[in-house]
């Protein structure tokens, strides 16, 4: 295995969580044959990257069966609003500051930062990110 950033081959595994299915909703009849993937975490001492030891193909993780839409839960949206307010206050965020979210999905967390007048940027490989883009969240 080689580092995904610096290509070094001296990684070491520090966490092994066994095998797990992808986080998708299987269709009827697929559950018994649900594929499992190794979930272990490695550290690269050369560049400091912490990474999965066996990345799963994005087409499997973020295909047609990917449905994580945070904004569908009103209690979760309220939690994100409180989180954004607390972090904006703690770090004195305002105009000119940038909040970047990796794995931003539908942009619900970034949307919660908008009243704090910060710039926001979401990074997400799934089609769900189109929801954020439609709301004007880059």
Which of 111, 46, 59, 58 is CA-nearest to residue 83? 111
Average pLDDT of the segment spanning 122-133: 88
Pairwise CA distance, residues 15 & 27, whole Å: 31
Give the angle subtended at the CA of 102 by the CAs of 100 and 105, to the nearest 5°.
105
The pLDDT of residue 114 is: 95
pLDDT at 128 over 80: yes
Q: pLDDT tens digits, residue range 93-117?
A: 999 999 999 989 899 999 999 999 9
pLDDT at 26 over 70: no
Contact 122, 101 (CB under 8 A): yes
């Amino acid at each position: 295995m080689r580092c995904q950033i610096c290509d070094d081959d001296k990684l070491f595994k520090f966490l092994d969580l066994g095998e797990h299915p992808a986080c998708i909703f299987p269709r009827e009849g697929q559950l018994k044959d649900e594929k499992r993937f190794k979930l272990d975490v490695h550290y690269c001492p050369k560049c400091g990257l912490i990474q999965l030891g066996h990345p799963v193909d994005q087409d499997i993780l973020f295909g047609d069966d990917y449905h994580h839409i945070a904004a569908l839960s009103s209690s979760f949206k309220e939690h994100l609003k409180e989180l954004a307010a607390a972090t904006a206050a703690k770090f004195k965020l305002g105009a000119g500051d940038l909040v970047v979210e990796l794995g931003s999905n539908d942009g619900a967390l970034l949307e919660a930062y908008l009243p704090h007048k910060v710039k926001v940027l979401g990074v997400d490989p799934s089609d769900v990110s189109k929801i954020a883009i439609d709301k004007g969240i880059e």
